[in-house]
Chains A and B, each alone.
Chain A
Amino acid sequence: MRPFVYERAATSEVATQAIRAGIATDTAPRQGRYPAEFLAGGTNLLDLMKLDVMQPAKLIDITGLTQAHSAILVSPQALRLGALAKMSAVADHPEIIKNFPVVAQSLTLAASAQLRNMASIGGNVLQRTRCSYFRDTSWSACNKRNPGSGCAALDGYNRGHAVLGASKDCIATYPGDFAQALMALDAVVTVLGPDGTRTVPFSDLHRAPGSTPNVETTLRPGDVITAFVIPAATWMRRSLYMKIRDRQSYQFALASAAVALDIDDGGLVRQARIALGGVATVPWRARDAEAALVGKKLDPQTAESAARLAFGGAAPREHNAFKIALGQKTVTRALVQAATLEV
């Protein structure tokens, strides 16, 4: 690991100013990133620093802010999650398990017990891709790590790569699970930046790779996520997260679906929410599929045609075409199962 300057931030305002100061002293991005990074759980950042994929000149340790920014508040209007809450704290919260099952399940099915005890949910949504060509610096071509260098995955071994949201410059998959739950439930992100606090729809947080895959979010230098707010809605209890992977546990998704349904007494769908993981470059909302379900009875046939719509724009590469069929089956099964939940 390369040397870095280590600072502890006592308040969130200090943290954002420290990042700004860190950038001012060294403006040249390294490996496509700004030279100062926040350190919370560190489970992704330290791993990538050991691999020399990330080379921050400065780390601002914000674990000292945990007490101020880790509250989990459930009200009739919304679920508010402090961004420094640990994944395990959210996953094991009884009211979240009961009233926002897709949130709890997306976290329980992610990583390992130790990692969930360490990782903050704010850092979790920002975790970086598992693309081998990104993680292994002996490959020179990676536009995400080394902008302008090309993409070794396009014609490389791309079984794990994205079929949705890819560009000619990057097909790396967004690896997380929790983000899909936030997408499906219309979460809002509270961001503290050098110029104050603002809120951003979660669906606007991540950026599709386009021609700048190194820029992964709409966050600006010095911005720190302080909370997620999930509005209470008629579909939140009839929700679940389905994750399909090569191993039963402790593995990233090949395909996953966060679904939430509002079904009326007659069995017709009033509202549907579907977000896809493991198959796209960013947390992916399948709005066409959602719209197709409204007013229909949810059965295996309607679920399957919605699932087909969800992958309408899919563009497979040599080794990942199976993700289209697998993803469609994942969405179908998730929807059918959600429809049978007793809420």
Chain B
Amino acid sequence: MPEHLDGDDKPSVSRRRFLGATASTAALPFMGASAARAVADPAVKPDPGALLNVSLTINGKDHRLGLDVRTTLLDALRDHVGLTGSKKGCDHGQCGACTVHVDGQRTLSCLTLAASAHGRVIETIEGLASTDGKLHPMQQAFIDNDAFQCGYCTPGQIMSAVGCVKEGHADNDDAIREYMSGNLCRCAAYPNIVAAINQAKTQMEG
């Protein structure tokens, strides 16, 4: 992908990348056009069409991206870095499916401009498990408590739940419901999500 300046640190070919690579060549002229545009310093050249240099540390790795100024952090993660775990539900900050951590704070990546996140530390669902593959206690708790059906909201739920516990807002069921209200689950797995957070919080605190 031409926008991805530092090339190749993807662990493997993702489903999206595979589909993208095997799709028709109709995408190629667009990508060529993107690559042809210079990466500009916006202070010097106020051109709305210029690509913007954005540096992000995502799950411990540094990424330098050249992005259209309108790109949200969510689109940067999904379409430019290939991390499609963070989901686009409403794209208006109402559903919580896009929740990631920015400098340790749970944040809606769909309402964050990638440009605004320049220089920040981003953690997504892909970075939550240990490098040896052991799941984070919250991930394991969601499995143990059957805290999802379709799973679409789950990455956002889990990132939000980790934030909820770290903030100290998971003292009891009422607090969990209140401080998780920004994550909607159309399958209504809410009771099991509360149970999962209760399970994980003792392990996280312990």
- Chain A residues with a Cβ under 8 A of chain B: 1, 3-8, 39, 42-43, 46-47, 50-51, 57-59, 61, 63, 88, 92, 111-115, 117-118, 249-250
Best-surrounded residue of B48, B68, B108 (most CB of chain A within 10 A) = B108
B93 and A5 within 8 A (CB): no
Of B107, B113, B163, the residue contacting A46 (CB under 8 A) is B113
B182 and A115 within 8 A (CB): yes
Q: Is B43 part of the binding interface, using a Cβ–Cβ cutoff of 8 Å?
A: yes
Closest to B68 in A: A3
**What separation, in Å, do the CA atoms of A7 and B164 have in the docked complex?**
33
Best-surrounded residue of B43, B46, B47, B111 (most CB of chain A within 10 A) = B111
Q: Is B186 part of the binding interface, using a Cβ–Cβ cutoff of 8 Å?
A: no
Q: Please tell me which stretch of B26-34, B56-64, B134-142, B172-180 contacts chain A, meaning at least 4 of its Cβ atoms lie within 8 angstroms of it.
A: B172-180
Known: A5-B46, A5-B69, A118-B105. 11 other contacts (CB 8 A): A3-B48, A4-B48, A6-B113, A7-B42, A7-B46, A43-B108, A58-B46, A114-B160, A115-B93, A117-B107, A118-B112
Q: Is B37 part of the binding interface, using a Cβ–Cβ cutoff of 8 Å?
A: no
**What separation, in Å, do the CA atoms of A58 and B111 have in the docked complex?**
17
What's the least CB distance linking B156 to chain A, in Å?
Answer: 9
Contacts of B116 in A (CB 8 A): 39, 42, 61, 63
**What separation, in Å, do the CA atoms of A58 and B48 have in the docked complex?**
9
What's the least CB distance linking A293 to chain B, in Å?
Answer: 31
Q: Is B49 part of the binding interface, using a Cβ–Cβ cutoff of 8 Å?
A: yes
B52 and A6 within 8 A (CB): yes
**What separation, in Å, do the CA atoms of A58 and B42 have in the docked complex?**
11
A42 and B112 within 8 A (CB): yes
What's the least CB distance linking A298 to chain B, in Å?
Answer: 29
Contacts of A42 in B (CB 8 A): 111-113, 116
B69 and A4 within 8 A (CB): yes
